[in-house]
A and B are shown apart, each in its own frame.
Chain A
């Protein structure tokens, strides 16, 4: 059974203080690893997909990396508007593109 564990559960940073969020996973065969951002009371917003170990994707202050066991979401010089819950999910080669999600990391950036 596919499993995803995210850490930490919550993270508070000062504006400009860089850090990383972790997503550890076990999957029978990784089709893709997905990062989403979720604001309170809203649906998740797609950020990145990573398909193979060593792959990296960047978007503004965010950078996602992937190894065979985990993924990191690095946030560089964050701003208060980066405050959100960040969700990680994996997809295997079985079934109709189903995603298995972690519980998320709630990120707060203080000005």
Chain B
């Protein structure tokens, strides 16, 4: 069965510091991968998605970037965090062989920028 891992679960960072969040998927190959951000009490906003190694599409211009160095690894980064980068970050994958296009989510990372 497929599983998705995200870490860390919680992160407190000062303004101006760098960021690296990692997401890995097990049990599948060539998945589509996604990064979302969820503000308090709000729905999910798609930040980046990737259909393959080195292929990144950005949905929202911002202070963040994403990379996919391996087939099942997706990384969210920032060189200098802003206060507005605080939020709940979620990684998801899709691409099961059933063709149902379902996205499955990780447990999330709570980021607080102070």
Task: Report A's interface with B, CB cutoff 8 A.
Answer: 4, 6, 31-32, 34, 36, 41-46, 49, 87, 89, 91, 95-104, 106
Contacts and interface: CB of A to CB of B under 8 A. Distances in A.
Nearest to B51: A96
A104 B42 CA distance: 7
A2 to B, nearest CB: 11
B106 A43 contact: yes
B46 A46 contact: no
Chain B contact-residue range equals: 20 to 34
Interface of B is mostly: strand
Interface of B: 6, 32, 34, 41-46, 49, 51, 57, 59, 90, 92, 94-95, 100-108, 110
B44 A97 contact: no
A42 B32 contact: no
Contact of A101 (B43, B49, B51, B102): B43
Nearest to B50: A96
Which 7 pairs from chain A and chain B are nearest by CB?
Answer: A43-B105, A101-B43, A103-B43, A101-B44, A97-B101, A96-B51, A43-B108
Contacts of B108: 41-43
A45 B1 CA distance: 16
A96 B57 CA distance: 10
B19 to A, nearest CB: 19
